[in-house]
Structure 1
Amino acid sequence: MDEMRESTVDRAMAAAQTINALSRVFGEMQAQKLVYYAQAWSLVWDGRPLFSNRIEAWQMGPVVPSLRHALHVIQQAPPAGVFTASEEATLDAVTGYYGAMGGSALGELTHREGPWREVWGDRPRDAQCSDPIPLDAMRRFYTRMALRGEGPRRPMTPTVEASDGAIERIAADTSRRWAKTLAILGS
């Protein structure tokens, strides 16, 4: 079902719209950085990306190119049913932690952190770059932060009754999602 939702809805845009609904976004730079942090913390907490859109290391920090010049769309209501309860909780936690910061402050913060810095390297401040920020670099950096007790707190998601069929689907999805990791750990 996640694959179907991903193909029919731009989940990065839906994340930006959800963040805007939670805490009014005041500019594209702020929206870009909040979406970046939502992706980072989803990787840490859920072990998977929130969206498939590429994040690039631009001069002003991480950017999802598909969200560029889309503030008017970001300010629309988010589509319903795009995210799971866990994903919604991640968006809420990230917005609660970073949402009061403006775009410039968030940009400066991302410049001090490893994933953007590693890709940007020693380029001059006014250089151009569109190199991708690897998801693994984001996962490693923000996992270390979480282990030090830094960053937003992982949200608790409510438990719900599930049918046997739903549990079997979840188990199969989880097995597929973690197959590579489990194979690496087993060798």
Structure 2
Amino acid sequence: MAYPVNAIVNTLLDMAKDKHISDMTPMKIQKLIYLAQVWYIKITKEELIDESFYRWTYGPVLPSLYHNLKGYGSYPVTNKLIRMDLQGNIIEDYISDLPKDQKIHALLNEILNVYGNKTASQLSNLTHQEGTAWTEGGGDNESIITRKDMENEKLYK
């Protein structure tokens, strides 16, 4: 079962806080979520996130997450993500959408253990290496990174 990205991000933010990782900028979150999606696909043959990543200048990006976080600029994300209507009313609070799935928590924990100490720029550079889905698909061309691309992704421990 694929989850809304905000549910995964909120869980990741909670876990990063517990690990004293304070530099959870929008770009770093994008890259960590991408890596979580790749690892999850490779481990379970299922998708973790119910959205598609695109090839943007600084690597894989979920456009909805980009728009949700762009107000932070290059500063750390300090609040959990919610969905609001056009009048500013909360439609959904994603905190409760992610069940206490130990497999997902273990995966996110491992993602933070392996990549949490890297900066957003280091993670972006990582996604630009030869053989990654971003480069194999032509780099910064705004195309979708398909599930097949992720299955062939080399960024997996």
Structure-1 residue corresponding to 2:7 = 14
Amino acid in structure 2 at the alignment position of 1:41: W
More helix by share: 1
Describe how 1:43-122 pairs up with structure 2 within 5 A: 43-71=41-69, 75-76=79-80, 79-80=95-96, 82-83=98-99, 84-112=101-129, 113-121=131-139
Of 144, 148, 156, the residue aligned with 1:132 is 144
User: Where does the alignment leave 5 or more consecutive residues of structure 1 unmatched?
Assistant: 122-127, 152-187
The Cα of 1:81 is off from its aligned counterpart by: 5.3
Query: How big is the shift at 1:20?
Result: 1.5
Distance in 2, matches of 1:120 and 1:13, equals: 28
Query: What TM-score results when the alignment is normalised by the length of structure 2?
Result: 0.73
Larger of the two Rg values belongs to structure: 1
Match of 1:34, SS?
helix
Q: In 2, Cα distance between the equivalents of 1:63 and 1:74?
A: 20
Aligned to 2:86: none
Deviation at 1:61, TM superposition (A): 0.3
Give the aligned residue type for 2:124. G
Shift of 1:137: 1.6
Please tell me whether the aligned partners of residues 7 and 97 of structure 2 are also in contact (alpha carbons under 8 angstroms).
no
Regions of 4+ moved over 2 Å: 69-75
Please state how far the C-alpha of 1:25 moved relative to its aligned partner: 4.4
Distance 2:23 2:52 in 1: 21
Identify the structure with bigger relative contact order (alpha carbons < 8 Å, sequence gap 6+): 2
Relative distance call for 1:70 and 1:25 in structure 2 (3 A) is farther
Q: How many residues align structurally?
A: 132
Q: Percent identity between the aligned chains?
A: 27
The structural deviation recorded for 1:74 is 7.3
Matched to 2:114, the amino acid is Y
Cα separation, 2, equivalents of 1:139 and 1:50: 13
What is the identity, as a one-letter code, of the residue corresponding to 1:56? Y
State TM-score, norm by structure 1: 0.62
Shift of 1:52: 1.5
Segments of 5+ residues of structure 2 without an aligned counterpart are 17-21, 82-93
